[in-house]
Amino acid sequence: MPVIRTPGIVCTVRRHGEHGAVVRLLTPDHGLQSGYVRGGRSTALRPVLMPANLVTAELRSRVNDQLAGLTVELAESRAPFYSEPLVAAAFEWVTLLTATVAPEDQPFSRLYAALAALLDLVCAAPSARWWLRAMVRYEALLLAELGFGLDLERCAVTGGREDLTYVSPRTGRAVSLHAAGVYAEKLLVLPAFMTDDEEPDWEQLMQGFALTGHFIERQFFSDRRADALAARAMLIDRVRRMVG
């Protein structure tokens, strides 16, 4: 692998040895990249290697199958926002999700742009309701980028575009209110903000998380990686506590 110099979003940091760390970054042109940071657990580097931070990275490796050596410089710190429990849970979940399910060395420019925008919004939005909508949409985008996109444009039964109210938990396709009939209770609710620019209320946001969460769990976390969903459960729990 040649030397890669790139901006990157820190996604996960795993201790390696006594002082080092294995770091996974999402980059705009090279996708998810892993590298070993010498001294990554040091006092100087721990504030740099926090999930959601933006860094300038350089990855070097002698051979293609060897873990790259990674050096980083802090470009933008989001450490101050970790003092807010809901924001901290959001950072932890969205970065862990990305690092866990995205394949390495495959460019996902749309995903990088969306994650960067989402993290900026989490830090800048006056209300969590603004960025929670963006997080649901990010989860839906990630599903689509990895080949499991939801089909929310037409009713799976009639082909129409009106009154799309539900989603099939099996196919991920939208279903209209009329077509759902007696099967409505077995379907997932499709909140309006998933298909237009309507501002969601708290109930609709939770419906959005239930929708994307169903497919995220089924497609990505049905095996040994299921423990990662604990970070999502923490986020949802903190949202519910805030709403009351």
Average pLDDT over residues 183-197: 95
Predicted pLDDT at 1:
53
Residue 163 belongs to some domain of the structure: no
**pLDDT above 70 (res 190):** yes
**pLDDT above 60 (res 26):** yes
Do 63 and 105 lie in one domain? The reply is no
pLDDT digits (tens, 9 = 90+) for 137-163: 999 999 999 999 999 999 999 999 999
Measured in residues, the chain has a length of 244
Do 217 and 203 lie in one domain? The reply is yes
Residue of 157, 4, 160, 125 whose CA lies nearest to 68: 4
CA angle 7, 13, 18 (to 5 degrees): 125
- Residue ranges making up the domain that contains 36: 4-77
Average pLDDT over residues 67-77: 94
Mean residue pLDDT of the chain comes to 93
Predicted pLDDT at 173:
98
Residue 173 belongs to some domain of the structure: no
Do 65 and 90 lie in one domain? The reply is no
Do 147 and 33 lie in one domain? The reply is no
Neighbours of 201 (CB within 10 A): 13
Domain containing 14 — which CATH number?
Answer: 2.40.50.140
What gap in Å lies between CA 157 and CA 175, rounded to an integer?
A: 7
Do 99 and 142 lie in one domain? The reply is yes
pLDDT digits (tens, 9 = 90+) for 80-107: 999 999 999 999 999 999 999 999 999 9
Predicted pLDDT at 64:
63
Predicted pLDDT at 115:
98
Do 124 and 200 lie in one domain? The reply is yes
Total number of domains in the chain: 2
Domain containing 235 — which CATH number?
Answer: 1.20.1440
- Which residue has tokens 């890669």? 4
pTM, full prediction: 0.93
What gap in Å lies between CA 153 and CA 167, rounded to an integer?
A: 11
Token reading at 244: 């009351």
Residue 162 belongs to some domain of the structure: no
